[in-house]
Structure 1
Amino acid sequence: MTAITIWGRRSSFNVQKVMWLVGELALAHRHVDAGGRFGGLDDAAFLAMNPHCRVPVLRDGTTVVWESHAILRYLAAQHGGERLWPDDAAQRARADQWMDWSQTALQPAFLGGVFWGYYRTPAAERNWGAIHASLERCSGYFRLLDRMLAERAFLAGDDFGLADIPAGTTLYRYFELDIERPSVPHVEAWYERLKARPAYRRHVMIPFGDLHGRLDD
């Protein structure tokens, strides 16, 4: 029997973050498709775990965690050891700041503004003013990442860590979309380093063509 169970559809951006870390840690786990066309989020058993009716949700023994970044931190603390969850608070804060920045700045601009506004919205319903504004914000954010990555191989230093997961999960969709992008060679080099990781290829580089023009989950 495996202790860890993760609920969520594999095409979900937030689920991909969690599955990527599970893959990096080589954790035995069970995955349950939930949300979108799989449904199940309003079932009593699911609501007992997450009253917000959203994925991902993780259960590890008797522990239940929802919200993707809370799950990432839990997995790193419980299973990641010093490499992903160092004892030094300052080192952990370096990862935390990039995780929070990704969630509050990059993800709303790209996932909400570009991916949903452009790719997932039917052409006749697109708000091009909002899309172009989101693209401009994304360009600024990726230029910022490019400046940071000019000095190091990964976001928080020379080694892969928790900081790379939230922002790194955006890269596959960002570089696959037919959109204008600024020149960001250091981000592209970081992307190549992430693509060399088996867990990234398996859990993040998932074709998303079935989501085109679909506003349902």
Structure 2
Amino acid sequence: MLKILGKTSSINVRKVLWTCAELGLAFEQEDWGAGFRATDVPEFLALNPNAMVPVIKDGDFVLWESNSIIRYLAGRYHGELLYPADPCARARCDQWIDWQASELNRAWSYAFLALVRRSPLHQDPGQIELSRANWARQMGLVDQQLAQTGGFIAGPSFSLADIPIALSINRWLETPLQHDDFPAVTAYMARLATRDGYRKYCRNGTP
């Protein structure tokens, strides 16, 4: 059986859990990470030398990096509806997955560490405001894209790309800062709320 190593409070672990829900995959989960089993021990480092979650073990196959994992699962377990075989449609999906990992994540890092994690190294008011503004600008791009598609981030149908994007939107909504009004984002999250995987894994385990 597929084994997932990582705590459910991790946004990157929840990407994998939500993907499994969409694919109907059974799995076993072990809690690793801060507050649970340490990832800097030889047993875990042998699986991921970066000492970060998630890691999956699928039989003898071991993989880390959350976006690589969700692509693998969709490709391995007949997830064509999530991750299309057509090169153009797949590239569009990949575009938003990669953008979430680079541009969007980089925008929210400082504000999230300051306001949610309460990191003493991230308490510069100017940097917090800069991060908030950058985060809002990226959320504006999401809102614009959703207004164009009228459905989901990569097109009219739900795809693998919606999982990391929705998790990042949820992080934005849950962070105590000024939230600009993005009507397409609001409507998008309401559409996603009909999905079991969203309800179970996107909103930090809350309804």
Match of 1:116 among 100, 103, 113: 113
Letter matched to residue 120 of structure 1: R
1:211 is aligned to none
CA offset at residue 205 of structure 1? 1.3
> SS where residue 154 of structure 1 aligns?
coil
50 and 182 in structure 1: CA distance in 2 versus 1, 3 angstrom threshold: same
Distance 1:207 1:123, change over 3 A: farther
TM-score (norm 2): 0.93
Paired with 1:7 and 1:122, the residues of 2 have a C-alpha distance of 25
Provide the C-alpha distance between the structure 2 equivalents of 1:149 and 1:88, rounded to a whole number of angstroms: 21
Residue 178 of structure 1: CA displacement? 2.5
Aligned residues: 205
Please state which structure has a larger fraction of its residues in helix.
Answer: 1
Counterpart for residue 155 of structure 2: 157
Could you list the per-position Cα deviations for residues 156-189 of structure 1 after superposition, in whole angstroms to 9, with x for gaps in the alignment?
1111101111111012232233311112000111
Percent of aligned pairs with the same amino acid:
39
The equivalent residue for 1:181 is 179
Identify the match of residue 85 of structure 1 among 79, 83, 86: 83
Q: 1:187 to 1:92 in 2, by over 3 A?
A: same
1:85-128 per-residue CA deviation (whole Å, 9 max, x = no partner) reads 32211111001110111110111212x12211222115896221
What is the rounded CA distance, in whole Å, between the counterparts of 1:150 and 1:108 in structure 2? 23
Paired with 1:173 and 1:200, the residues of 2 have a C-alpha distance of 13
Cα pair distance change 1:91/1:61, threshold 3 Å: same
* Bigger RCO of structures 1 and 2 (CA < 8 A, at least 6 apart): 1
Structure 1: gaps spanning 5 or more residues: 209-217
What value does the CA root-mean-square deviation take over the aligned residues? 1.8
Correspondence for 2:164: 166
Give the alignment partner of residue 126 of structure 1, picking from 120, 123, 127.
123
Q: What is the alpha-carbon distance in structure 1 between the residues aligned to residue 165 and residue 78 of structure 2? A: 19
Q: Which residue of 2 aligns with 1:146?
A: 143
Runs of 4+ in 1 over 6 A off after TM superposition: none
The residue type equivalent to 1:83 in the other structure is: L
SS in 2 for 1:65: strand
